[in-house]
Amino acid sequence: MIPISLPRTALLAALLAIVLFPLIGATFYVQLGAKIMIMAIFALSLDLLVGHTGLVSLGQAAYFGVAAYVLALISPQYEAANLWLTLPAAMAVAAVAALIIGFLVVRTAGVYFIMVTLAFAQMLYSVFHDTKLGGGSDGIYIYVRPELNIAGFKPLDLENPMQFYYFVLILLAVVYAFLNRVLHAPFGRALAGIRLNEQRMRSIGFPVFSYKLGAFVLAGALAGLAGYLAACQFGFVNPDILAWQQSGVVLMMVILGGMGRLHGAVLGAFSYVLLQEVFSAPALLGAYAKHWQLVMGSLIVMIVLVFPHGIGGFLDIVLRRISYRPPSSARTDGT
Amino acid sequence: MTGGEILKVRGLCKTFGGLAAVDDVSLQVRTGELHAVIGPNGAGKTTLINLLSGDLPPSSGSILFRDQDIIKLPPERRSHLGIGRSYQKTNIFLGFTVLENCRLAAQSRAPRLLNWWRDALSYNDELEQARRALAAVALADRADDVALALSHGEQRQLEIAMCLATDPQLLLLDEPLAGMGTEESQKMVELIGRLADARAILLVEHDMDAVFQLADVLTVMVNGKVLATGAPAEIRANHEVQSAYLGSSDEIL
């Protein structure tokens, strides 16, 4: 017999809703759903650094943007690029960028780390903004989305919004499951130790620099995956994609959802994009909708004040209360 | 029994601005020997430990560990060579369980930088090693408690268990008895005595009863300099030491 509890039912219902949504939702909302899930992958990549390693990066958009540019630059102009080549290439370039930048920035800590990650991201921004590479400040178009082609068989047509939605959903699930494994593996446990007490980690023999650099590169590659998907979806890449505002948005998602919990990053991305949609639409705020950032900013400040562990942390507490059973049932903590 | 010299320190100096915190310190520690460093507050004892563990870079001098010059090595490399240290202020992973604190220390012996897949708790050797270290400090029954829930004395024991889980040949203990009650202190003294049988220990401690009970060799430091080195009985009889340090009993406590 399967025990039926409210949290489990709620989780199943939410997953079912996400899976079935494209069948009933209007195309606009299906595309919005895909955009949210792409941002969720991006937020997961940053949470690996911020929430799980204690490295607050304000330059994560650099790797997101670099991968987006890789797709734009290597796509043939009037035909579909091969996803099996372009996706690994985009992620690899993002990872290499993270390796080079990480090698320099991971030596710093605290506010200096924030500053140098920001500085390197802005340098990349300038490269794309001020040179002819990638069309300068005008950006470049990707006219045809990449093709998922397995020996002539095409399981998914990424031009179709519904199929693109499912493609992104599968990748989000894979990234989530992968990070969940990584965090429970020796590598992830070492990152948790580094977040709590770096000095102690060194004195018991961990080469902390290498572990942080490893996390930085992994986070860069995953941000690259998100950037690649974003470029696919929008069919357009310009320098704003790696500007500091983009790094700030994804950091806000992580904080809003609750740092250091994977479901927090996903919830943060969902909440942020949905709130932005609501506040920037004239339906709710009328003529004030163009000042949506003001409302949004105030709301985020309030949420963070009321829920210090973000929306994810708040939900954890609620679910724990609801599903409280006598202590005999051993609870396993996912963090 | 004491073996060969495992640690040889020659002319070690550390200056902070104009202040020589450690000034031309030379000493050696043998395997199976407990070498205690005593001295008034500000004598440079903790700085000395930080120089030996690699937490601070020395200004000059040499440190030979098993005849290898380790002066340029970072703390993690020294840890792998066999140097373990405890901190004066309890320095553990408060949010982890007691067992996880030690398991992580044991994990460091098998570098798994690129192991991103297998569950960390599935490595039985490391769990065994962690449990042995906990048993050695009599914390085995607290293994599943969060470190934060331990008493101060138990946290000090855990600190040492974390060192033991890395199987060090030289232990640097920085005031392991600090802030402990009489009963806790006595247990810790017995523990340190047991650990000294098979390892070299450099102990910095203010508790003179414990020091004279445990030490095979004593080094007295004052203002960063070594005032005297010798067997406990010699140190007790040394007039210089008496006037500089042991005589003024208010400074001992």
**pLDDT, position A171:** 97
Pairwise CB contact (< 8 Å): B162 & A208: no
What are the residue ranges of CATH 3.40.50.300 in chain B?
1-82+168-253
Residue B241 has pLDDT above 90, yes or no: no
Judge whether A328 lies within some domain.
no
**pLDDT, position A3:** 60
| Phi, psi angles (nearest 5°) of residue B151 | -70, 165
Place of tokens 């202190």: B185
Provide the shortest C-alpha distance from residue A322 to chain B (in Å).
24
- State how far the alpha carbon of B232 is from the alpha carbons of A164, A178, A297, A321, B36, in Å: 78, 59, 67, 60, 9
| Residues of B within an 8 Å Cβ radius of A | 53, 55, 74-76, 79-80, 84-85, 87, 91-96, 100, 103-105, 107-121, 123, 162-163, 165-166
Average pLDDT over residues B151-163: 94
pTM of the model: 0.91
CA B42, chain centre distance (Å): 18
Residue of A nearest to B81 (CA): A205
Enclosing domain of residue A54: 6-18+29-322
| pLDDT, mean over chain B | 91
**pLDDT, position A11:** 83
Pairwise CB contact (< 8 Å): B76 & A207: yes
- State how far the alpha carbon of A37 is from the alpha carbons of A18, A160, A253, B137, B186, in Å: 10, 16, 12, 49, 59
A335 interface with B at CB cutoff 8 Å: no
**pLDDT, position B42:** 86
A200 interface with B at CB cutoff 8 Å: yes
What are the strands of the beta sheet with B68-69, ordered from one edge? Answer: B19-30, B5-16, B60-65, B68-69
Of the pLDDT bands very low, low, confident and very high (cuts 50, 70, 90), residue B253 is very low
According to CATH, the superfamily of the domain at B1-82+168-253 is: P-loop containing nucleotide triphosphate hydrolases (3.40.50.300)
**Separation of alpha carbons A54 and B152, rounded Å:** 26
Pairwise CB contact (< 8 Å): B123 & A200: no
Pairwise CB contact (< 8 Å): B108 & A206: yes
Judge whether A205 lies within some domain.
yes
A208 interface with B at CB cutoff 8 Å: yes
Residue B247 has pLDDT above 60, yes or no: no
Residue of A nearest to B92 (CA): A200
Of the candidates B53, B120, B166, the beta carbon closest to that of A186 is on B120
Mutate to test the interface with B, among A200, A201, A204, A212 (most CBs of B within 10 A): A204
**pLDDT, position B2:** 56
Name the residue type at position A157. D
Pairwise CB contact (< 8 Å): A185 & B92: no
How many domains does the structure of chain A reveal?
1
**Separation of alpha carbons B34 and A262, rounded Å:** 48
**pLDDT, position A333:** 47
**pLDDT, position B211:** 94
Judge whether A1 lies within some domain.
no
Provide the shortest C-alpha distance from residue A27 to chain B (in Å).
38
Provide the shortest C-alpha distance from residue A330 to chain B (in Å).
12
**pLDDT, position A332:** 47
A81, A143 contact by CB (below 8 A): no
- The CATH number that applies at residue A250 is 1.10.3470
Pairwise CB contact (< 8 Å): B107 & A197: no
Pairwise CB contact (< 8 Å): A204 & B123: no
B203, B37 contact by CB (below 8 A): yes
**pLDDT, position B240:** 84
Provide the shortest C-alpha distance from residue A199 to chain B (in Å).
8
pLDDT tens, residue order, chain A (335 aa) = 456 677 778 888 989 999 999 999 899 999 999 999 999 999 999 999 999 999 999 999 999 999 999 999 999 888 888 999 999 999 999 999 999 999 999 999 889 999 999 999 999 999 999 998 888 888 999 988 998 877 778 888 899 999 999 999 999 999 999 999 999 999 999 999 999 999 999 999 999 999 999 999 999 999 999 999 999 999 999 999 999 999 999 999 999 999 999 999 999 999 999 999 988 888 887 777 888 888 888 998 999 899 989 999 998 888 888 776 655 444 444 44
Pairwise CB contact (< 8 Å): B93 & A200: yes
Provide the shortest C-alpha distance from residue A209 to chain B (in Å).
10
> Which is it for the CA torsion A85, A86, A90, A91, positive or negative?
negative
Please report the ipTM that was assigned to this predicted complex.
0.90
Q: Which is higher by pLDDT, B14 or B42?
A: B14
Name the residue type at position B201. I
Q: Which is higher by pLDDT, A156 or B70?
A: B70
Of the candidates B91, B100, B113, the beta carbon closest to that of A197 is on B91
Judge whether A208 lies within some domain.
yes
Pairwise CB contact (< 8 Å): B117 & A186: no
Provide the shortest C-alpha distance from residue A264 to chain B (in Å).
19
Mutate to test the interface with A, among B113, B119, B167 (most CBs of A within 10 A): B113
Chain A CB contacts of B116 under 8 Å are 181-182, 185, 187-188, 218
- Beta-carbon neighbour count of residue A96 at 10 Å? 16
Of the pLDDT bands very low, low, confident and very high (cuts 50, 70, 90), residue B106 is very high
Chain A CB contacts of B127 under 8 Å are none
**What angle separates helix A27-50 from helix A244-257, to the nearest 10 degrees?**
80
Provide the shortest C-alpha distance from residue B251 to chain A (in Å).
31
**pLDDT, position B252:** 46
